[in-house]
């Protein structure tokens, strides 16, 4: 179980912030970020150590319904690209000093994952934890079984442990899975009650006709899901059964990573639409996970702002991004660094011999 942050330290943190040699509150979000990080670490001297980025990959049965502009093979091709160091996520991990772990949880490739990955770049760790060759088509049946769901959660948790064993206390999480905006839209709708039409967007580049088709497929999937719940009530007894009906293996692994990182009192950097949907799902399982979440950016995917607002989340950036991979979270990380450095290194009124005028 995740322990909520101990807010008993808040007065001491606020006192330190207010005595830094600046007008009270003048550093805005940097101050609220510093407060959050200090609460997560329960320290007046927080540190950011060996940040790690987990990129989970998996394919989706719902992709067979034509809900994505990208063909299925792009998942495998991009996973290889990440391992060779050529993705957007690679550039940002290198820039900001993140170790990158690329994890195959369910890419649709028959054979050993190493066959399509080949030799990874020296600064990238590839991990094969394949549960299946993509999930099943949730239009007609649950995307994964309870056993597969549990296995995917464990994959996420074990990757967090691997990072933590190397001293990491900051986890970024990204994904690669053609079609994964579709389950994200449905989870958003189910857990926020926002109308589905407002939750569905272009994904990897659908036009208006494609978006209308995607919405139709998802509406039908939801109707069938409600019928399945009525006819097989014992198979749908709680939140996790709802999540596993729709989520991809890479999404389930991300949820597992988020929950376990919060258990270990680590900072969790949340990326765009899909990872926000995963954090939303994780918060349905344990609301305390949000104490550890730093929302990196508001993306350009339809519905992302609505989902963030429904969660009471205030993202650090709004750059019209919708690439995924965790790129928005990585772009936001330097702001977290600035907040911690300000909190730790800025002088105070007394020591600097500056009159405190408030």
State how far the alpha carbon of 333 is from the alpha carbons of 17, 38, 93, 287, in Å.
20, 16, 10, 23
Cβ neighbours of residue 209 closer than 8 Å, sequence gap 6 or more: none
CA distance 337 to 92: 15
Spatial CB neighbours of 313, under 8 Å, sequence gap ≥ 6: 270, 276, 290, 293, 295
Return the biggest CA–CA distance within the chain.
73
Is residue 353 pLDDT above 90, yes or no?
A: no
Q: Please give the model's pTM, rounded to 2 decimal places.
A: 0.96
Q: What's the pLDDT band for 183 if we cut at 50, 70, 90?
A: very high
Sign of CA dihedral 104, 260, 171, 186: positive
For residue 182, which of 149, 150, 215, 159 has the smallest C-alpha distance? 215
Helix (H, G, I), strand (E, B) or coil at 154: helix
pLDDT tens per residue, range 283-341: 999 999 999 999 999 998 879 999 999 999 999 999 999 899 999 999 999 999 999 99
pLDDT confidence bin for 264, thresholds 50/70/90: very high
Q: List the one residue out of 285, 274, 346, 276 whose CA is nearest residue 311.
A: 276
Can you tell me the distance from the alpha carbon of 84 to that of 126, in angstroms, rounded to the nearest whole number?
A: 10
Instruction: Tell me how far apart the alpha carbons of residues 228 and 236 are, in angstroms, rounded to a whole number.
Output: 9
- Band (pLDDT 50/70/90 cuts) for residue 111 is low
Name the 3-class secondary structure at 304: helix
CATH of domain 7-46+343-352: 1.10.1610.10
Task: Classify domain 52-333 at the CATH class level.
Answer: alpha beta
The neighbouring-strand residues paired with 56 are 103, 175
Instruction: Label residue 249 by pLDDT band (50, 70, 90).
Output: very high
Q: Do β-strands 293-295 and 99-106 pair in parallel, antiparallel, or remain unpaired? A: unpaired
Q: Which residues are catalytic?
A: 325
**What pLDDT does 113 receive?**
66
Q: Which residue has the higher pLDDT, 301 or 63?
A: 63
Check: CB of residue 183 under 8 Å from CB of residue 62. yes
Total residue length of the chain: 358
> Where in the sequence of the chain do the CATH 1.10.1610.10 domains occur?
7-46+343-352
Domain with CATH 3.40.50.10210 in the chain: 52-333
């Amino acid at each position: 179980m995740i322990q909520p942050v101990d807010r008993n330290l808040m007065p001491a943190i606020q006192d330190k912030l207010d005595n830094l040699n600046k007008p009270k509150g003048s550093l805005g979000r940097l101050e609220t970020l510093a407060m959050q990080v200090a609460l997560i670490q329960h320290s007046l001297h927080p540190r950011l150590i060996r940040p790690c980025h987990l990129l989970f990959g998996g394919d989706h049965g719902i992709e067979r319904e034509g809900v994505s502009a990208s063909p299925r093979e792009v998942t495998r091709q991009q996973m290889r690209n990440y391992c060779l160091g050529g993705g957007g996520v690679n550039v940002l991990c290198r820039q900001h000093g993140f170790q990158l772990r690329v994890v195959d949880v369910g890419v649709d490739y028959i054979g050993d994952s190493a066959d399509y990955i080949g030799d990874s770049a020296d600064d990238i760790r590839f991990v094969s934890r394949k549960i299946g060759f993509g999930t099943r088509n949730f239009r007609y049946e649950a995307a994964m079984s309870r056993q597969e769901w549990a296995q995917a959660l464990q994959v996420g948790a074990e990757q967090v442990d691997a990072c933590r064993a190397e001293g990491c206390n900051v986890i970024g999480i990204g994904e690669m899975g053609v079609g994964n905006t579709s389950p994200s839209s449905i989870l958003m709708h189910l857990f926020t009650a926002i109308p589905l039409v407002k939750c569905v967007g272009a994904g990897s580049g659908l036009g208006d006709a494609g978006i209308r088709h995607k919405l139709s497929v998802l509406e039908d999937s939801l109707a069938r899901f409600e019928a399945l719940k009525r006819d097989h009530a014992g198979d749908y007894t709680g939140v996790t059964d709802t999540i596993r009906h729709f989520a991809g293996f890479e999404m389930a692994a991300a949820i597992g990573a988020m929950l376990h990182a919060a258990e270990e009192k680590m900072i969790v950097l949340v990326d765009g639409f899909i990872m926000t949907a995963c954090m939303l799902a994780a918060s349905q399982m344990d609301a305390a996970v949000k104490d550890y979440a730093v929302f990196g950016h508001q993306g350009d995917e339809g519905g992302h702002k609505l989902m963030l607002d429904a969660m009471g989340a205030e993202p650090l950036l709004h750059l019209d991004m919708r690439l995924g991979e965790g790129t928005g979270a990585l772009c936001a990380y330097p702001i977290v660094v600035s907040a911690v450095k300000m909190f730790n290194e800025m002088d105070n009124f007394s020591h600097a011999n500056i009159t405190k005028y408030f």
